[in-house]
A = this chain, B = another copy of it.
């Protein structure tokens, strides 16, 4: 337990690194096709060049009328209106509705001049081709979508930093904006260090293993909106690591190094991060499991993260530290809580006080509802994580959770 007490919490660690970065930040921008902009972050303010809807529209199938002609009418006491024509979809109405008149209109059709209400088809009876009977009174504006009811001309409709979802894409298209300025995805340099590590395409020798972390991290980073730049595998030697980190520092916006797990490998990473630029290492160790030996540094405004070399750590620290850093580079303005799945813990789990634990679980449907079953297995085994659906968080003041406790699962 004491080993965690002098370490800082993930949120304090994040605060330290975000505070040490330049506070005024403008992402590089690029103009792309709106239809390819899903998941990107808007980099411009969008004002409406014209109102939406651009003209008053009917929300029902019926007849455009003057509301006062229907006042007080009912089934027993209908109004009779002269049918003067039909408003064709997509055509500007050429007729005008005067008192005592009605014009047929379809859902989405333009309201002709003179009319101020639409009576629904169901509330009318066609007498002959030139007359209708109206059975229900309409108020002014009834069943009409006003010009500009959605947005007025000149309205600010989207602010920079907005995440573009299907509806934002629809909104931009509605305003005729078929291209849009978005934040360029930050380049995230990824380095794996370790004398025993070879690339996946190589056949490992007798005491070698393939690189998992670079590729797991690249997928995490891409999903978070970053652009992973694979910087390869570097031996556990100060000078070799320094050279590759220096190159990444020149070209990338953010650097992630997964080191070997040995003390000497971690020391080398720490030394390199310290010597690269000011202010150097800011956080050395976080009160979190897995992920404790995480190192956070800044060298001349470039954040660097030294990650312990196991995939669960990469996912946990990726969510807690890397995601907010990438959002900062993208200029994301609005961050929602993470959606979760409620479940019942299937067995007792223990935890250490003073430490935030993240436990991989698999979801199982049962008669008692959704169960979260801890996926036990060492956190350095990649297929342990393949069996898991998500993580549960055990807060620092808990020493464990009993079977049956309601937990919230964050999916990977």
Q: A residues within 8 Å of B by Cβ?
A: 34-35, 38-39, 52-55, 59, 61, 87-93, 106-110, 121, 145, 149-151, 157-158, 165-171, 173-178, 194-197, 200-213, 215-220, 222-223, 236, 260-265, 309, 311, 314-315, 336-341, 363, 370, 377-378, 380-386, 388-389, 409-412
Residues on the B chain within 8 Å of A338, using CB: 339, 341
Inter-subunit contact B263/A61 (CB<8 Å): yes
Taking CB atoms, residues of chain B closer than 8 Å to A216 are 166-167, 169-170, 173
Closest to A200 in B: B173
Is B260 within 8 A of A382, CB to CB?
Answer: no
For A90, the chain B residues whose CB sits under 8 A away are: 194-197, 205, 207-208
**For A383, what are the chain B residues with a Cβ–Cβ distance below 8 Å?**
52, 150-151, 157, 171
Nearest 10 pairs of A and B residues by beta carbon: A339-B339, A170-B216, A90-B196, A92-B206, A166-B219, A89-B195, A106-B262, A173-B200, A110-B207, A167-B385
Task: Tell me which of B87, B220, B264 contacts A106 (CB under 8 A).
Answer: B264
* Distance A108 CA – B166 CA, assembled complex (angstroms): 46
Given A176-B203, A194-B108, A412-B165, verify A89-B260 contact (CB < 8 Å). Answer: yes
Q: How far is the CB of A151 from chain B (nearest CB, A)?
A: 5
Q: Give the residue name and chain of the B residue nearest to A230 (CB).
A: B35
Chain B residues within an 8 Å CB radius of A202 = 176
Q: Kindly report which residue of chain B lies nearest to residue A204, judged by CB atoms.
A: B54
Bound form: Cα–Cα A172–B110 in Å: 58
Q: Give the oligomeric copy count.
A: 2
Complex CA gap A290/B340 in Å reads: 25
Hey, which chain B residues are within 8 Å of A381, CB to CB? Answer: 52, 145, 149-150
Instruction: For residue A384, give the distance in angstroms from its CB to the closest CB of chain B.
Output: 7
Report Cα–Cα, A39/B220, bound state, in Å: 11
Q: Tell me which of B167, B178, B208, B340 contacts A382 (CB under 8 A).
A: B167
CA distance A55 to B210 in the complex (A): 12
Distance, CA A92 to CA B212, complexed state (A): 20
- Minimum CB–CB distance from A266 to chain B (whole Å) comes to 9
Asked whether B336 lies within 8 Å of A339 as measured between CB atoms, the reply is: no
Residues of B within 8 A of A264 (CB): 61, 106
Q: Chain B residue with minimal CB distance to A90?
A: B196
- The answer to whether B220 touches A150, judged by C-beta atoms less than 8 angstroms apart, is no
CA distance A193 to B222 in the complex (A): 36
Given contacts A54-B204, A339-B410, contact A315 B166 (CB under 8 A): yes
Contact B59 A207 (CB under 8 A): no
Most buried by B among A61, A149, A171, A220: A171
Q: List 15 A-B contacts (CB under 8 A).
A: A39-B223, A61-B262, A61-B263, A89-B196, A91-B207, A107-B262, A108-B209, A109-B196, A149-B378, A166-B223, A173-B211, A174-B212, A175-B210, A176-B201, A339-B411
Given A195-B88, A210-B174, A223-B38, are A380 and B59 also a contact pair (CB < 8 Å)? yes
